[in-house]
């Protein structure tokens, strides 16, 4: 793959570590990887307990700190979601990635799913972007996934995201096409995040091609397009002629 593609991808990465055994040393290492000789990634995405640590480690850099709530199962109550987000924001989180209560949504309990997203939107306020994880691999077809994408957008999502990376099916190109197409059809400024199994520049480039085709090449940027990954940065750096900064983190991303 070309160095131009790798350079474009670098600034769109949410460098992710959401492994059960993550420890402070692993987060320090992740933050160190986030700023490279070729530029910085868009964000690091970590467990809530590491937000303050990451903010301190990345102080002065352009890298944003994202964290996850209602993750990975999507089963928390609205008041718990609101409390968790408030704590993350106090600790310095720039962005919140929240799991849509997709099991409730798929069981036609849209009121319960909507209550969680409403609580999350209120807790984030206007300043903190809300990235709603649909868990696209759990949806039976593209029609249902597109409806869920619209549901999340109308509930105030700033981004819609494919996957937690914690179930068997992560990001797929058909899911990306459905979700980005839904964004295009709503005429709202909403971003898209692909996550779950994207590990190479070649794979990431396929998702960029979908976005370019539907939205136009000028649409893609860190405020509208992200790729959640752990190992992708290594392939980006190798493509750019650098040695990979560190072994890719173990896990599903």
CB neighbours of 21 closer than 8 A, spacing ≥ 6?
Answer: none
CA distance 128 to 84: 14
Domain-embedded: residue 244: no
Integer CA distances (angstroms), 97 to 37, 84, 158, 216, 231, in order: 28, 12, 10, 25, 19
By DSSP bridging, strand 95-99 and strand 130-133 are parallel
Output the domain CATH number for residue 143. 3.20.20.70
pTM summary value: 0.95
Domain-embedded: residue 252: no
Task: Work out how many domains the chain is built from and give that number.
Answer: 1
CA distance 15 to 185: 29
Q: Which of 57, 131, 161, 166 is catalytic?
A: 161
- Position 244 scores a pLDDT of 54
Clarify whether 131 is annotated catalytic.
no
Clarify whether 193 is annotated catalytic.
yes
Q: Which helix (H) or strand (E) holds 105?
A: helix 102-106
Domain-embedded: residue 19: yes
Domain-embedded: residue 181: yes
Domain-embedded: residue 246: no
- Position 253 scores a pLDDT of 54
Q: Chunked in runs of 10, what are the mean pLDDT values of the chain (253 residues)? A: 92 97 97 97 98 97 98 98 98 98 98 98 98 98 98 98 98 98 95 98 98 97 97 96 55 48
Q: Which of 57, 131, 166, 193 is catalytic?
A: 193
Clarify whether 141 is annotated catalytic.
no
Domain-embedded: residue 99: yes
- Position 187 scores a pLDDT of 85
Domain-embedded: residue 215: yes
Domain-embedded: residue 67: yes
Question: Cis omega (within 30 of 0) on the bond before 86?
Answer: no
CB neighbours of 189 closer than 8 A, spacing ≥ 6?
Answer: 224
Expressed as residue numbers, the domain containing 147 is 3-239
In 3D space, the residue among 143, 147, 141 whose CA is nearest the CA of residue 100 turns out to be: 147
Q: Which of 84, 97, 234, 235 is catalytic?
A: 97
């Amino acid at each position: 793959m070309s160095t131009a593609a790798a350079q474009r991808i670098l600034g769109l990465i949410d460098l992710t570590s959401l492994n059960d055994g993550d420890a402070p040393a692993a987060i320090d290492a992740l933050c160190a990887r986030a700023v490279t000789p070729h530029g910085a990634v868009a964000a690091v995405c970590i467990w809530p307990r590491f937000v303050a640590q990451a903010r301190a480690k990345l102080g002065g850099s352009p890298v944003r700190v994202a964290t996850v709530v209602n993750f990975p199962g999507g089963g928390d109550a609205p008041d718990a979601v609101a409390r968790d987000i408030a704590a993350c924001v106090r600790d310095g989180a720039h962005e919140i990635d929240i799991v849509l209560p997709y099991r409730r949504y798929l069981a036609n309990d849209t009121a319960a799913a909507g209550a969680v997203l409403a609580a999350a939107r209120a807790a984030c306020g206007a300043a903190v972007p809300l990235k709603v994880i649909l868990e696209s691999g759990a949806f039976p077809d593209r029609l249902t996934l597109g409806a869920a994408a619209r549901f999340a957008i109308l509930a105030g999502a700033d981004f819609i995201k494919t996957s937690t990376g914690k179930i068997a099916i992560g990001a797929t190109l058909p899911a990306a096409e459905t979700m980005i197409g839904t964004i295009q059809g709503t005429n709202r400024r909403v971003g898209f995040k692909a996550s779950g199994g994207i590990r190479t520049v070649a794979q990431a480039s396929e998702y960029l091609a979908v976005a370019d085709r539907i939205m136009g090449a000028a649409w893609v940027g860190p405020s509208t397009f992200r790729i959640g990954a752990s190992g992708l940065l290594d392939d980006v750096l190798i493509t750019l002629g650098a040695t990979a900064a560190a072994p890719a983190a173990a896990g599903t991303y």
